Structure 1
Amino acid sequence: MALAARSVSEIVLEDISMKYETASSDVLAVQQVSMNIAKGEFISLLGPSGCGKTTLLRLMADLLAPSSGKLSVAGGTAKEARLAQKYGIVFQSPVLYDWRKVKHNVTLPLELKGVSKKQRDKRADELLELVGLKAFGDKYPWQLSGGMQQRVSIARALAMEPEILLMDEPFSALDEFSRERLNEELLTVWSKVGSTVVFVTHSISEAVFLSDRVFVLSPHPGRLSAVVDIPLPRPRNKEMRNTPQFFELIADIRSRFEGV
């Protein structure tokens, strides 16, 4: 994404902190995090396990309320964005219904909204073609590989044409070969739909390959320790993983964790 295109803010966090109350003591998960994510931008939240990546994603999605600070989404509150169905969410696990065919998993959000069957079927065909699964609409999730199931999840998340796509380590359970292939396919889908993407990962190479910018979080409690621009040209392809610039960016980000 060109720097000039970062003029319209989509998600803004100002001094956000999140404290979980437990029976024994309070746990500070995220501490005074500020971010400004532009409309149409692909950013990654990167950091070790337990640094608050998923907490931040859940705050953006209005699944949690911050303990302090201010959060705005699409010019309003996170709750307003959620009620306006501006979000699509992809979790670490595909969370598909095994008794529903693939196309009926994809159309579930439309069905719940009362969209006609004709329109639902048309949208399912479009989305399954977009994620390369048009021939598998009449299969059941259990008949697909893990990577294919996750592509179904992405198609379902896009069913309502969300302005914002939130992704919580969606490929972490896959082998490296499948993960890299799905990274490439995700960028192809993103280039066509244009959603703002917030992608949670603990893989430095994945964050570099996918993102316009990488937001580096420190270990618990999560604080924003760096924001790294990724100047790799788009569209990106697998050959970029072998370029000196790609390795330099990985080394730069890795160095930011040293001594933390």
Structure 2
Amino acid sequence: MTISEIELQNVSMRYSADQSSTLALQDVSLKITKGEFISLLGPSGCGKTTLLRIIADLLQPSEGSVKVAGSSAKEARLSQKYGIVFQNPVLYDWRKVRDNITLPLELMKVSKQDRIHKAEELLELVGLTEFADKYPWQLSGGMQQRVAIARALAMEPEILLMDEPFSALDEFSRERLNEELLAIWSKIRSTVVFVTHSIPESVFLSDRVFVLSPHPGRLSAVVDIDLPRPRNKELRNDPAFFQLIATIRDSFEGV
């Protein structure tokens, strides 16, 4: 029997301000299996980031429950089960690439020797070994995001949460980083929850796509992406790829 690593039951989120309130998410229930690559897909304002932050225990839902490996989201966060990559890399310009990557290890009082060893591993993993002594401002946007991914992996998280990490990049850089992300994931095999508003991106990356309706966000469809792995750029010319894009696009109609 397949065991769920992340399980949400009837999660709703209501924001209150002054004397009014806004329903951001409504009655979302889903299950994610260990090692899956899942995309949360939907238009701007549908609650994708809110849902990701609830999974990460950065927000508390107004209703419903979140379980991670059978425990609460809070317990998962305190146990360092999460690595998080935000839309912007959030790197420290005065720290070299190597030192940005090892920051979580410093905070956990990991020895300098172990930090250096882990940094070398991660720099190789994300293809930035030769940039270890550069500063973030000396790197392209795509390279900065690779540093952010490496930092998120420093504590060897079981779950990688990614909030539209490539949305600020041009299409060419974005597609290349999609391929690089899958190469990294094939080696680490963490469970990935990836927020995007790009249908092609969600199809290219995912095992399943969870489609959220426009505001308030509800789970309107779950689409299995039955494309073979490993995936490469040639997949984007495959008729099956376009058919899945059409299927997901059709799932928005009438919502």
TM interval, short-chain normalised:
over 0.9
Among candidates 21, 30, 36, match of residue 35 of structure 1: 30
Equivalent residue, structure 2, for 1:208:
203
Q: How does 1:24-103 map to 2 (within 5 A)?
A: 24-103=19-98
Tell me the percent identity: 77
Equivalent residue, structure 2, for 1:173:
168
Among candidates 180, 190, 194, match of residue 195 of structure 1: 190
Q: Give the TM-score normalised by the residue count of structure 1.
A: 0.97
Distance (Å, rounded) in 1 between the aligned partners of 2:71 and 2:18? 34
Distance (Å, rounded) in 2 between the aligned partners of 1:195 and 1:226? 24
Residue 256 of structure 1, CA deviation? 1.0
Q: How does 1:9-24 map to 2 (within 5 A)?
A: 9-24=4-19
Q: How does 1:136-147 map to 2 (within 5 A)?
A: 136-147=131-142
Equivalent residue, structure 2, for 1:110:
105
- Find out whether 1:222 has 2:217 as its counterpart: yes
Q: Give the TM-score normalised by the residue count of structure 2.
A: 0.99
Residue 24 of structure 1, CA deviation? 3.7
User: Where in structure 1 are there 5+ consecutive unaligned residues?
Assistant: 1-5
Give the secondary-structure state (helix, strand or coil) at the position aligned to 1:161: coil
Residue 135 of structure 1, CA deviation? 0.5
Amino acid at match of 2:182: L
Aligned residues, how many? 255
Distance (Å, rounded) in 1 between the aligned partners of 2:217 and 2:242? 26
* Superposed structure 1 runs of 4+ greater than 6 Å apart: none
Amino acid at match of 2:203: V
Give the secondary-structure state (helix, strand or coil) at the position aligned to 1:128: helix
- Find out whether 1:133 has 2:128 as its counterpart: yes
- Find out whether 1:233 has 2:247 as its counterpart: no
Per-residue deviation, residues 221-244 of structure 1 (Å, max 9, x unmatched): 000000000000000000000000
Distance (Å, rounded) in 1 between the aligned partners of 2:144 and 2:18? 38
Distance (Å, rounded) in 2 between the aligned partners of 1:74 and 1:135? 37
User: Where in structure 2 are there 5+ consecutive unaligned residues?
Assistant: none
Give the secondary-structure state (helix, strand or coil) at the position aligned to 2:71: coil
Residue 23 of structure 1, CA deviation? 1.0
Distance (Å, rounded) in 2 between the aligned partners of 1:253 and 1:71? 26
Among candidates 138, 148, 151, match of residue 153 of structure 1: 148
Distance (Å, rounded) in 2 between the aligned partners of 1:259 and 1:35? 21
Among candidates 3, 8, 14, match of residue 8 of structure 1: 3
Distance (Å, rounded) in 1 between the aligned partners of 2:75 and 2:37? 22
Residue 8 of structure 1, CA deviation? 1.8
Distance (Å, rounded) in 1 between the aligned partners of 2:52 and 2:36? 15
Distance (Å, rounded) in 2 between the aligned partners of 1:74 and 1:50? 29
